[in-house]
Chain A
């Protein structure tokens, strides 16, 4: 850990960023203003042909864009 100022906030797992935002507060081991990507854990994988058609073999990464009804005119 780098020397200097540590952002040492009080932390409880159930804390939210603000009452009306349902964003959980992250633990003190996470530095402010740094982006995090959760580490993937291998689950089931699609069989090869299904994976090729879906664009990934990892079901947890399969997030197709869903066609939405246009709700405003630009």
Chain B
């Protein structure tokens, strides 16, 4: 199953920002007073939220926490392992 180039690019951007958030999460657990890291965390939280909202509005839900019509919409889109991430490769 194919997804559009634009959709893939947006998905990758979300994956990248979310990965940075995991990294900062780990760092902040041991450096809770680091204001620079906190600022970066807050900035990425905003960015991730914005990108996810855009993705869900333009394409499909990112998690199962959404209100679905019948039939269950979650299975309409490709599973993560069905996506060709190299398309338009990075």
Contacts and interface: CB of A to CB of B under 8 A. Distances in A.
Interface of A: 39-40, 42, 45, 48-49, 51-53, 56-58
A42 B90 CA distance: 27
Interface residues of B, number: 18
Contact of B19 (A40, A42, A51, A58): A51
Given A42-B27, A57-B24, A48 B34 contact: no
A52 B15 contact: yes
Main secondary structure of the interface of A (DSSP, over half): loop
Main secondary structure of the interface of B (DSSP, over half): helix
B83 interface: no
Contacts of B20: 45, 48, 51-52, 57
